[in-house]
Amino acid sequence: MLSVKDITKKYGKNIVLQELTYNFDKGVNIIVGTNGCGKSTLLNIIGNLDGNFAGEVTFNDDDLTSINYKKRTFYLPSDFYLPEFMTGKEYIDFILSLYPNSNNKHLNDLIKLFKMDKSINKMISNYSFGMKKKIQFIASICADADLYLYDELFSGLDFETTIIIEEIISYMEKTKTIILVSHDINTLKRFNKKIMIMSEGKLNEFNYDVDGIINRISEMVIDETLLNSIREDYESN
């Protein structure tokens, strides 16, 4: 279990996370919320990319700063930049060298599954956005971590790739702890057991029909006065 306790994060006087406490169980945990509400900030903290915060983070009793925690955690940020001077295969090999429990048993199968076999030995500088996402995900699977953090994993991916990744995650959730930041409605419907809404620096469980989550997010961001003004303009034309 991943435990975050009393996490507070500020940018100047702006409080992004405020005494956030939550336990993430094994399986898929999805976080949704508006832009700037703190979703990526929380993942940066859990993923050891931001140490400037108050509070505690542990995973199965391993402290955030411990070597064992780092070896068991794989974080794929939404804005991660790949070394374009490497080939896809060199990048995967480099990542796996950082994880002592990595397993490349299914590496070739994954490369073929994601249709990367003709480009895996080409320079990453020649890759499209989707191809870069594919090799990052392949590396994450072969790393065989215990805690996975995926920030907008499905953004920019085609329908076929999204289905394949969802299918693989459905296998992973039986033994791994996975946190997904995602607004893909199909993903929310497939992994609907634990969905949290980030709002006002805290996480609140969403226990209603997934179709209603769009309305819930809309309620958080829409200025009704402004919306009514716009609606009236359209109706008057």
pTM passes above 0.85: yes
pLDDT in tens, 141-166: 999 999 999 999 998 899 999 999 99
- Residues 235 and 112: their CA atoms lie apart, in Å, by 53
- Residues 179 and 80: their CA atoms lie apart, in Å, by 17
- Residues 137 and 155: their CA atoms lie apart, in Å, by 13
pLDDT along the chain (237 residues), means of 10: 95 91 95 86 94 94 93 90 94 95 92 95 96 96 96 91 93 95 85 88 79 61 54 57
pLDDT in tens, 195-219: 998 888 889 888 767 766 656 655 6
170-89-154 Cα angle (round to 5)? 35
pLDDT in tens, 108-120: 999 999 999 999 9
Whether 187 and 180 have beta carbons less than 8 Å apart is answered as: yes
